[in-house]
Amino acid sequence: MRMTKIISILSLSLSISFAEDLLLGSDIPLSDVKMKDISGKTVSLNDVKMENGLLVNFTCNTCPWVIRWQDRYNDLAKLSSENKIGFIAVNPNAAARDRGENMKDMKKFTKKYDHEFLYALDKDAKLAKAFGAKYTPQIYLFDGAGKLVYKGAIDDNAAKKKKVKKHFLMDAIKAVGVGKEIALAETKAFGCSIKYPK
């Protein structure tokens, strides 16, 4: 009986602490909250958003899934810019800042992979919590009105870029860029669990 009560309390506390994953059509959460980018500047999601929308990529430095998808990050950032969609990578691993996920590590990671986009630190993982994000990488794409129109994975093959058959995110970006409806608006995100603080 006591164990059942403890489990119930834990379940309740988890439901209070973490929001459900954003539903399609939702507004951008905490869009005015400032985060520090690797350049030293502070930016908000509203600062990054462009005429046709915003792409938020919750990512990190150490997850094997993230590393496998690295050869697509610059392409996605470039495609987003071409379609007037702002692009930002966000590191939410607040409980692992001493294990490869702090600002210094983020700068090294960016240099190693020659990234050409904003990479911001989500202090205390507040932004990720507001999104209900659970994994790195996990994608959220908003249209020009700030409504969520795609969420989930980058594509169907993290390991080998040349063997990708379904370009979920690229297709979504192109559709948003020309004002068309996205054919597949939600896919399953694959990655490592976000290291939330206790």
Q: CA–CA separation, 193 vs 135, rounded Å?
A: 5
**Report field, pTM of the whole predicted structure over 0.85:** yes
Between CA 4 and CA 40 the distance in angstroms is 48
CA separation for the pair 67, 159 (Å, rounded): 9
- Averaged pLDDT of the chain: 92
Number of neighbouring beta carbons within 10 Å of residue 106:
23
The CATH T-level fold of domain 19-193 is Glutaredoxin (3.40.30)
**What is the tens place of the pLDDT at every residue in 158-192?**
999 999 999 999 999 999 999 999 999 999 999 99
* Bridging pattern class, strands 42-43 and 135-136: unpaired
Residue 10 predicted with pLDDT over 70: no
Tokens of 176: 């948003």
